[in-house]
Amino acid sequence: MTHADVKVLIIGSGPAGYTAAIYAARAGLKPVLYTGAQPGGQLTITNDVENFPGYPNGINGPEMMIDLQKQAERFGTKVNYGMITSVDFSGYPLKVTVDEKDEITAGTVIIATGATAKYLGIPSEEKFNNKGVSACAVCDGFFYRGKDVAVVGAGDSAAEEATYLANLCTKVHLIVRRDEMRASKIMQQRVLKTPNIQIHWNTETDEILGDDNGVTGVRLLNNKTGEKSIISVQGFFLAIGHQPNTGIFKKYIDMDETGYIKVVPGTTKTNVEGVFAVGDAADKVYRQAITAAGTGCMGALDAEKFLVSKEMEEVGVTIGNQ
């Protein structure tokens, strides 16, 4: 194969990245993984993970990511703490720059940079993160069974999260900034037909309230009247979208309008030869640790097949020139 510094370069260190590393390492490909700015990804800010198979008693998110890193390293993955700051996918081998100074060439690149939940930007979000504030109802809704919660958002994601939580919680307050929702008609109808969902129209979150034990309520602002009110809730769910961490690849990789990487259906292949996308960087539907891990496995297997085919091509060229 054309010389490259590494055969498999993995960008990102969440469940997708580490699973890709485990499979690539076990295949003898000696993968190199760069953790990015948030080693371990979104799970490092998640206290309790109860829906990942293999942990019957649940596990702390950061602890789980340490376990995945150890497993990847056990099979020979080299984990580096650094940021991939730019890429050049215009030729082969593929080129990436680390921390704006060091260039690496790679036979394959697996993009596992994930996505970041969008927040409102109020200080209390960070204060009560993992103490009642969440950006994933499927992940954390179980902890609020029989309680009152609030969901902020007006699109399909907000409608889905509100109806999901309505099956678990006593009451769901849906906070909508305008006098209408952006969600599809069918999703709006589901919300309106769910008796324990109360919609607060023309309403914004002024502040999330709480104490040492977590969230106790939300102070709302009616943006038409200026009136403020307080509702009592134990959970506050953000559903205003996610931003995929894919900006540095835009020059080369095909993406949708919001920045999620497009892959060939049923694979992790991108439009660039030798570049594969896994996890939340390419998944705007499920966004779960277990689905991310699954695509990480796919990415490693796709990368291995690509490298084999590349080596066979070059062997064929050599023989043909004799």
Q: In what order do the strands lie in the sheet with 203-211?
A: 203-211, 214-222, 228-232
Q: Which residue has the tokens 């990015």?
A: 36
The full DSSP string for 43-56 is: GGG-SEE-SSTT-T
Angle 7-10-12 from CA coordinates, rounded to 5°: 170
Retrieve residue 125's tokens. Answer: 């979000």
Find the DSSP H helices in 75-171.
123-127, 137-140, 156-166
| Environment class of 185 (CB within 10 Å of its CB; exposed 0-12, middle 13-18, buried 19+) | exposed
- Asked if residue 93 has a cis previous peptide bond (ω within 30° of 0), the answer is yes
CB-based contacts of 82, cutoff 8 Å, min separation 6: 34, 35, 98, 99
* Strand partners for 103: 97
Residues annotated as part of the active site: 136, 139-140
3-state secondary structure of 171: strand
Q: Provide the Cα torsion 150, 220, 233, 42; round to 10°.
A: 50
> In whole angstroms, what is the distance from residue 204 CA to residue 212 CA?
24
DSSP string, 276-301: EE-GGGT-SS---HHHHHHHHHHHHH
Residue 274 and residue 306 in contact, taking contact as beta carbons nearer than 8 Å = yes
Rounded CA-CA distance 304/317 in Å is 20
